[in-house]
Structure 1
Amino acid sequence: MGIYAIKLPDVGEGVAEAELVEWHVNVGDVVHEDMVLAAVMTGKATVEIPSPVDGEVTWRHGEVGDIIATGTVILKIRVAGGETGEEAEEPVAAELSKAEQAPVAASTVREKVQDDTPPPAPGQPKLRKPATATEAGAPRPPEEKPLASPAVRLRAKNAGIDLRQVTGTGPTGRITHDDLDAFQRQGKAAAAKPGLQPNTSIQEIKVVGLRRRIAERMALSKSRIPHITYVEEVDMTSLEELRTRLNADQRPGRPKLTILPFLMRAIVKAAADQPMVNAHYDDEAGVVRQYGGVHIGIAAQTPAGLVVPVVKHAEARDIFDCAREVARLSEAAKSGTAQREELSGSTITISSLGAMGGVVSTPVINHPEVAIIGVNKIAVRPQWDGTQFVPRKMMNLSSSFDHRVIDGWDAATFIQRLKVLLEAPAMIFVEG
Structure 2
Amino acid sequence: MGKTTDVLIPDIGDFDSVEIIEILVSEGDRVTLEESLLTLESDKATMEIPSPHSGEVKRLLVKVGDHVKEGDKILVLEAESGEQKGEGEQVSTPPPAAEEVETVQAPAPTPNETPASASEQPQRLPGEKETRIPPVPAGFIESGGQGTPHASPSVRRFARELGVDLSLIKGSGPKDRILKEDIQRFIKRSLRQGEGAAAARSPFEMPAGPEVDYSRFGEVEATALNRIRKISGAHLHRCWLTVPHVTQFDEADITDLEAFRQTQKEAASRQSVRLTLMPFLMKAVAAALHRMPMFNAALSADGESLIYRKYIHIGVAVDTPNGLVVPVIRDVDQKGVFQLAAELMSISEKARAGKLAPGDMQGGCFSISSLGGIGGTAFTPIVNAPEVAILGVSRSSLQPVWDGETFQPRLMLPLSLSYDHRVIDGADGVRFTTHLSSLLGDIRHLLL
TM-score range, shorter chain: 0.5 to 0.7
Contact 2:251 2:412 in 1 (8 A): yes
Aligned to 1:278: 296
1:185-244 CA distance string (max 9 Å, x none):
xxxxxxxxxxxxx96233333345111110111011111110110000111111110000
Q: Which amino acid aligns with 2:369?
A: S
1:342-386 CA distance string (max 9 Å, x none):
111100000111322410100001110001011111112222222
Aligned to 1:15: 17
Cα distance between partner residues in 2 of 1:44 and 1:144:
25
The 5 Å alignment of 1:333-344 reads 333-344=351-362
147, 169, 172: which is aligned to 1:103? 172
* RMSD after superposition: 3.9
SS of residue paired to 2:347: helix
Cα distance between partner residues in 2 of 1:18 and 1:287:
37
Contact 1:59 1:105 in 2 (8 A): no
Aligned to 1:365: 383
The 5 Å alignment of 1:120-269 reads 200-250=218-268, 252-253=270-271, 255-269=273-287
Cα distance between partner residues in 2 of 1:396 and 1:216:
28
Cα distance between partner residues in 2 of 1:237 and 1:216:
40
* Structure 2 unaligned blocks of 5 or more: 1-8, 25-29, 58-149, 184-215
Aligned to 1:156: none
1:90-119 CA distance string (max 9 Å, x none):
xxxxxxxx976743242689xxxxxxxxxx
SS of residue paired to 2:311: coil
Q: 1:287–1:201: structure 2 CA closer, same or farther, 3 Å change rule?
A: farther
Q: Which amino acid aligns with 1:45?
A: A
1:67 aligns with 2:69: no
Q: CA deviation at 1:306?
A: 1.1
Please report the TM-score for the alignment, with normalisation by the length of structure 1.
Answer: 0.61
SS of residue paired to 1:47: strand
The 5 Å alignment of 1:37-56 reads 41-48=41-48
The structure, 1 or 2, with the larger RCO (C-alpha pairs under 8 Å, 6+ apart) is: 2
Please report the TM-score for the alignment, with normalisation by the length of structure 2.
Answer: 0.59
* Structure 1 unaligned blocks of 5 or more: 1-8, 25-31, 75-97, 110-141, 146-197
Aligned residue pairs, count:
302
Q: CA deviation at 1:293?
A: 0.7
1:28-85 CA distance string (max 9 Å, x none):
xxxx9889899775243332489999xxxx952535532179xxxx9xxxxxxxxxxx
Cα distance between partner residues in 1 of 2:432 and 2:45:
34
Aligned to 1:410: 428
345, 366, 387: which is aligned to 2:405? 387
285, 292, 317: which is aligned to 2:335? 317
Contact 2:170 2:182 in 1 (8 A): no
Q: CA deviation at 1:253?
A: 2.5
1:125-149 CA distance string (max 9 Å, x none):
xxxxxxxxxxxxxxxxx9579xxxx
